[in-house]
Amino acid sequence: MFFELSEAHKEFQKRVQRICEREVSPLVEEYERKKEFPLPLYRTFGAERLLCLRCPKEYDGPGLDKVSECVCMEELNRICAGIGAGFMVHGGLATDPILRFGSESLKQTYLPRAVRGEKIGAFALTEPDAGSDAASIRTIASKDKDGYRLNGSKTFITNGTICDFVTVAAYTDPGKRGIGINLFVVNREDEGFSVIKKLRKLGNHTSDTAELAFDGCYVPRERMIGEREGGGLEQLEETLKSGRITYGARSTGVGQATFDATLSYVKQARRHGEPLKRSQAIRFLLAEMATSVEVMRYTTYRGAWLFDQGIATMKDASMVKLFCSESVQKIVQKAMAIQKAAGLLMENPIQRFLRDARLFKIPEGTSEVHHLVIARELGL
């Protein structure tokens, strides 16, 4: 049973903390204002071997486990959720299907450069009329010569305007709901692929998000992930299982950052002439926040450990995603209740944590969807 990080994981955590404080933290305010992802960080993190952490050494990856990936994501999101989102999609959703289900040629073509940060990946599943229900997508991949023509649009795509390649879900057989889906790798320069627009968001401002179009975009057969038509839904489910556990780490990172900032504020602030830390009500709120962060962390790393053992179910992943993404909402609300008007000031990171955390209830399946997944697994 997983109870705490191993010594190797703890050393890795310290290393990631140092790198994030040195390389990421100084950039946050500038790029939040710009509403851009700091692109040089891809090469920096690639050189530090902190991209695509579960990619094995034969593809230049560090070959680490899911627990290590969650350690890295927690620390990144503690500093900046938007930057954490870009790296999460690149090293997870965009490349994981290639690693787990792609041909050797696809792996050799895309993974080493993704690991080094030379090529940036995106993942395109969500459409204007299809979100958590992947089987409802309408993008079609029609056979053409030795490949396929993709037609359709995707939205809310992280890394959409900065990506070099994008892993795309499309129907090769629209008559077979769900099971007729395949995944394809589209290069930025492929004819028929275009970025419609960059999307403006409430939070996660350093996370690049876009709407994409595929207008007769030709993809050769060798860039279809998998050996046969169909099977893409199963690939998606396995990929999303991992991603949902990662969202536990994202939520924990923002929760920890919120608690740290609030504790620092309480220790310094005075209200009605008295130190705020003497208020029993405030102390109770901080105790609840600290407890929530610890339970979120345990829940996340238990899920990651189960994943590493090959025994994590979709119920396990959904429980991590649901509990942690909902818990961080309560943490940031408590922080705002404590800081009141001070929490609304733009120079105060609490308002950013509040905006960033709200997103976590939506991607990788909404909270409502995860209630349904868990209930179904309970036999209801």
Q: Which residue is catalytic, options 118, 364, 368, 377?
A: 364
Predicted local distance difference test score (pLDDT) of residue 1: 58
Interaxial angle between packed helices 232-268 and 349-359, expressed in degrees from 0 to 180 and rounded to the nearest 10 = 160
Domain 7-115 has CATH 1.10.540.10: yes
pTM of the model: 0.94
C-alpha 19, offset from chain centre: 19
Strands (E), 47-190: 121-124, 140-144, 147-158, 165-171, 181-187
Same fold, 7-115 and 121-228: no
Predicted local distance difference test score (pLDDT) of residue 233: 87
Domain ranges in the chain? Answer: 7-115, 121-228, 233-377
Predicted local distance difference test score (pLDDT) of residue 35: 96
Active site residue 364: yes
Topology, domain 233-377: Butyryl-CoA Dehydrogenase, subunit A; domain 3 (1.20.140)
Predicted local distance difference test score (pLDDT) of residue 3: 74
Predicted local distance difference test score (pLDDT) of residue 2: 63
Query: What class does CATH assign to 121-228?
Result: mainly beta
Residue showing tokens 């060798």: 222
d(Cα 356, Cα 366) in Å, to the nearest integer?
Answer: 15
3-state SS track over the chain? CCCCCCHHHHHHHHHHHHHHHHHHHHHHHHHHHHCCCCCHHHHHHHHCCCCCCCCCHHHCCCCCCHHHHHHHHHHHHHHCHHHHHHHHHHHCCCCHHHHHHCCHHHHHHHHHHHHCCCCCEEEECCECCECCCHHHCCCEEEEECCEEEEEEEEEEEECCCCCCEEEEEEECCCCCCCCCEEEEEEECCCCCEEEEEECCCCCCCCCCEEEEEEEEEEEEHHHEECCCCCCHHHHHHHHHHHHHHHHHHHHHHHHHHHHHHHHHHHHHCEECCEEHHHCHHHHHHHHHHHHHHHHHHHHHHHHHHHHHCCCCCHHHHHHHHHHHHHHHHHHHHHHHHHHHHHHHCCCCHHHHHHHHHHHCCCCCCCHHHHHHHHHHHCCC
Number of Cβ atoms within 10 Å of the Cβ of 241: 21
Predicted local distance difference test score (pLDDT) of residue 133: 80
Does residue 354 contact residue 332 with C-beta atoms inside 8 Å?
yes
Region of 224 please: left (phi>0), alpha (psi -120 to 50) or beta.
beta
The rounded average pLDDT for each run of 10 residues, N- to C-terminus, in the chain (380 residues) is 85 98 97 96 97 97 97 98 97 96 97 98 93 87 94 96 97 92 97 96 95 97 94 88 96 98 94 89 97 97 95 95 98 96 91 96 92 94
